[in-house]
Structure 1
Amino acid sequence: MFYGSLNFRLLSNLFVWNENSRLGIAFESSTGFTLPNGAVRSPEASWIRNERWNLLKNEQKEKFAPICPDFVVEIRSKSDEIKYLQEKMAEYIENGTQLAWLIDRFDDKVYLYKADEPVQTLHSLKVKLSGDPILPGFLLDLESIIN
């Protein structure tokens, strides 16, 4: 149950930022995307810039849209193997994601993935994650949504 609450709070923060910025479209986990490599993925939270989303035809938007999100978040659940999630995050980056956060609430770590940069590991969930420059001004106080 805690997993769903954490995901909801994360999505709420992304939603509020997106409503204010109007820079893109935010999605929750029931949305699937077909990545350029053919994989179909449904991250916990994702976001796509308006100019990229608007290039898709309406019928493409109603299916597993053939696009890789600019930003994704995955939250480790009890049944998830961390290695699998890390491979999934690398796949997002390889397919065009610019920023990705993997939140490992069991090992108190956050893995930050950025295009063309090595993965950064934060050894605490008591952090504020910045979406800049991909999500300008988006700041997620992870500690506040976990507690």
Structure 2
Amino acid sequence: MPSYIPHLIIPDFDYIHFEKTALANPHSLYRMNLIQGQLEIMPPSPVHTETDEREFDIIGQLYTWVFANRNLVGKASASQGCYTLPNTIDDPKPTILGPDASVVLSARWNTLSNADRRRAFPPVAPNFVVELRLQSQSPQDFHRKMELWINGGVEEGIAIDRYANLPEVRIYTLNPDTNSVVWQPLMNPAQVPSQVLAGFVLNMRNIY
């Protein structure tokens, strides 16, 4: 039996439909992503409270860094914040993803117009994202989302899979020589240092 719960897929969705659906359900426990015109709805985990606690721990650690480095940060968000990947912005079927935690550094955020900054799903890729695999995600879907992030412009993605036989963290980046997504697997690490957010180290003690 799979260890994940199948999610719902709705085809032929666009930016307007996604925005209306998200704004009409601001307190929904369901996670939504729009991937090339296809809406993916993931049900909440059966252990939703435990998942929330782990997300809060990640967000708390990240926001401690954000508050200490406000001059470097343009925008930081938790799981309710979504972004339109800039490499799909002119596509009739754009991709809109929501990370568990993310940071857009000010150098990147400041390139946006005021109108773009005010959009519900700004057309920018965070410099840094953290994703915690839900029980409603298969390992393949989780990996695919990380590839979308990196191909969309994210510099560093930390993917945490506590449902693996041995808890695994993958550090996703783009290889500039081959222009391809690469990842470094770490088995049950105690800490994960960032190469993009100077001085940030994610303590994994309460996340597994």
State the TM-score, normalizing by the size of structure 1.
Answer: 0.92
RMSD: 1.4
Equivalent residue of 1:60, what SS? helix
User: Is it true that 1:82 corresponds to 2:151 in the alignment?
Assistant: no
Q: Which residue of 2 aligns with 1:12?
A: 60
Alignment deviations for residues 55-112 of structure 1 (CA, whole Å, 9 cap, x no partner) = 2223322321000111111101111111101011011111111100110011111111
List aligned pairs for 1:1-147, cutoff 5 A.
1-22=49-70, 23-24=72-73, 25-35=75-85, 36-37=87-88, 38-62=94-118, 63-107=120-164, 108-116=167-175, 118-124=182-188, 126-132=189-195, 134-143=196-205, 145-146=206-207
Structure with the greater alpha carbon radius of gyration: 2
| Identity %, equivalent residues | 29
Equivalent residue of 2:153, what SS? coil
Displacement of 1:45 in angstroms is: 0.6
Following superposition, which runs of at least 4 residues in structure 1 exceed 4 angstroms of deviation?
A: none
State the TM-score, normalizing by the size of structure 2.
Answer: 0.66
Equivalent residue of 1:55, what SS? coil
Q: How many residues align?
A: 144
Gap runs ≥5 in structure 2: 1-48, 89-93, 176-180
Equivalent residue of 1:102, what SS? strand
Displacement of 1:15 in angstroms is: 0.4
Q: 1:45 and 1:146 mapped to 2: Cα distance?
A: 14
Alignment deviations for residues 8-65 of structure 1 (CA, whole Å, 9 cap, x no partner) = 1100110010110121121111111000222000011111111211222233223210
Q: 1:104 and 1:40 mapped to 2: Cα distance?
A: 22
What is the identity, as a one-letter code, of the residue corresponding to 2:140?
K
Displacement of 1:4 in angstroms is: 0.5
Q: Is the 8 A contact 2:156 2:173 kept in 1?
A: yes
Q: 2:123 and 2:207 mapped to 1: Cα distance?
A: 33
Q: Is the 8 A contact 2:161 2:169 kept in 1?
A: yes
Gap runs ≥5 in structure 1: none
Q: 1:127 and 1:94 mapped to 2: Cα distance?
A: 28
Equivalent residue of 1:118, what SS? strand
